[in-house]
Amino acid sequence: MACDADIMIIGGGLSGTMLAVQLLRQAGRRTILIIEPRAELGRGEAYSAVELGHTLNGNAARMSVDPDNPDDLTQWLTEHIAAGGWPESAEQNVPISELFPPRGLFGVYVQQRLAEARRVGAQQGSTVEHICAEVLDLQTDADAVLLSLSDGQSLRGACAVLATGMFPAARTAQKHSSGLNAAALDPWNVAAMRQLDPQASVLIIGSGLTMVDAVVSLEQAGHRGPIEVFSRHGLLPHARRQPPAWPDFLGDDKSIRTPRQLLRELRRHCRAAIAQGVDWQAPLDTVRVHIARLWSQATDVQRRQFVRHVRPWWESHHHRSPPLSAALVERLHGEGRLRIQAASFKGLEPNSKDGISIRIRRRGESETCVVQGAALINSSGIEYDWRRVARPLPQQLLARGLIQPGPLALGIAAAVDGAVLDADGRASSRVFAMGPPLRGMWWESTAVTDVALQAKALALRLVG
């Protein structure tokens, strides 16, 4: 039976779109299908936001989708703004390379780069087609990969790539659900928040970047009441600043291999930076390019220790908030409207009155208590454990042993070249993965630069 495509990409957010761009740039003729249920490619969960206040958490100089041109987004923004686009950019009052663009606008940038790549590919006879459906199942045989879609179609291709992106906890059905999402507001749904009493008390579970987005959404909806935030460690993301360059101490000293060694040396450099009047974020930013190497060479015990003891502080220091959003959170906190409490969410409570009740256990206390509010927002971040994601494709692949959980149940397991490992540890010759599904392999596998580099490497592997 003939194949419908040379390469089938499952997911058309940033990961899938960037892979298509890299494939179109390669010499040769090939047919590419992107199966994505959203009407638009290049947006996914992260870049479908429509509010200007929901911005990237990295400035333009850090967010290029072209691994060969770190200034690509800066150059695109320069042209876009000169043509009259995004007039609000002047409010940030910084050079274009230091702007934090709205996530929706970043989606437009990704789409334009795909359109350009399509024109390049067309010169060699390569095509990309968007199939607007969800992949429900995947099977392989000796000759091809067969996909079953939500619209009843079946597609057959020489190989398939799992570019499913992120599963935000607030929007992802859980296999073992507490009912939290059914009772909670979407963190990005400003229209729904406008239906609240502006003075109502809002409860938020989680204090990471999704919480920051939720606070921005509430502000744009006109909310002026109290906001109670509960997270296990009570840590807020630091504001992202633009520190000067710092020596690449990890590149200079290859003897640093374990998480303990990294933390000790990083603290030393941060103290040295502060003593010199340099922002502590400068030494921390040099670590980024070495994370994949350090994580992959660590033992399972070391990785587990890092996740258990260091992860909350790594997330709050490394995954930082854009300046305008951070300033809003700081202002509301200073006004007493926003309170951060170190407490674990223990479940929903029946409530006969208007509003919602949750049970929490504050850190350091053995007893739980009930907290009431008019509304609840789930800002607990990303669900990386595919065993908990109640979507047809992850559950089918796991049930039939075509994939296995990644290290520490983060994403799925794969070989270094992205080939998916089955339940017996065998690398597939036809099914690959990239981006957030490989979180367990590389730890940082979600940022734009990570995805761009993986897309280029995987495109070369597939073409080869």
- Domain holding 28: CATH number? 3.50.50.60
> 356 has which bridge partners?
373
Fill in the DSSP letter of residue 183.
Answer: H
What is the CA angle 21-27-30, rounded to 5? 70
Would 399 be classed as within a structural domain?
Answer: yes
The count of C-alpha atoms lying within 13 angstroms of the C-alpha of 20, restricted to the half-sphere facing its C-beta, is 37
Would 374 be classed as within a structural domain?
Answer: yes
> 225 has which bridge partners?
none
Would 81 be classed as within a structural domain?
Answer: no
Assess whether 143 and 266 both reside in one domain: no
Assess whether 160 and 174 both reside in one domain: no
**In a 10 Å sphere around its CB, with 0-12 CB exposed, 13-18 middle and 19+ buried, how is residue 179 labelled?**
exposed
Would 82 be classed as within a structural domain?
Answer: no
Q: Which of 318, 345, 370 is the last residue of a domain?
A: 318
Would 158 be classed as within a structural domain?
Answer: yes
Please count the structural domains in the chain. Answer: 3
Would 61 be classed as within a structural domain?
Answer: no
pLDDT averaged per 10 residues, the chain (length 464) = 88 97 96 97 90 93 96 98 95 94 97 98 96 97 94 96 92 73 90 95 96 96 97 94 92 84 92 96 93 89 90 91 96 96 92 82 94 94 92 96 95 96 97 96 89 96 92
Assess whether 270 and 404 both reside in one domain: no
**In a 10 Å sphere around its CB, with 0-12 CB exposed, 13-18 middle and 19+ buried, how is residue 213 labelled?**
buried
Assess whether 47 and 120 both reside in one domain: yes
Assess whether 25 and 111 both reside in one domain: yes
pLDDT at 176: 64
Q: What share of the chain is helix, strand, coil (3-state, %, to 5)?
A: 40, 20, 40
Q: How far is CA 288 from CA 212, 293, 324, in A?
A: 22, 10, 23
Assess whether 195 and 143 both reside in one domain: no
Tell me if 243 sits within 8 A of 278, measured CB to CB: yes
This prediction has a pTM of 0.93
Assess whether 180 and 262 both reside in one domain: no
Cα distance between residue 317 and residue 386, in whole Å: 26
Strands of 356-362's sheet, edge to edge? 369-373, 356-362, 338-349, 227-231, 202-205, 375-378
The count of C-alpha atoms lying within 13 angstroms of the C-alpha of 1, restricted to the half-sphere facing its C-beta, is 14
Assess whether 253 and 290 both reside in one domain: yes
Phi and psi torsions of 119, nearest 5°: -65, -40
Tell me if 330 sits within 8 A of 219, measured CB to CB: no
Assess whether 257 and 216 both reside in one domain: no
pLDDT at 464: 83
pLDDT at 172: 81
Cα distance between residue 283 and residue 273, in whole Å: 7
Cα distance between residue 10 and residue 322, in whole Å: 30
Quote the radius of gyration of the chain (alpha carbons, Å): 23
pLDDT at 268: 95
Q: What is the dihedral of CA 402, 291, 169, 57, to 10 degrees?
A: -140
Cα distance between residue 271 and residue 30, in whole Å: 53
Would 159 be classed as within a structural domain?
Answer: yes
Assess whether 337 and 418 both reside in one domain: no
Assess whether 418 and 364 both reside in one domain: no
Assess whether 226 and 328 both reside in one domain: yes
Within 10 Å of residue 350's Cβ, how many Cβ atoms?
Answer: 5
Tell me if 59 sits within 8 A of 99, measured CB to CB: yes
> Domain range holding 400?
5-54+102-167+384-463
Q: Which of 335, 359, 378 is the last residue of a domain?
A: 378
SS3 433: strand
Give the pairing of strands 145-149 and 135-140.
antiparallel
Would 96 be classed as within a structural domain?
Answer: no
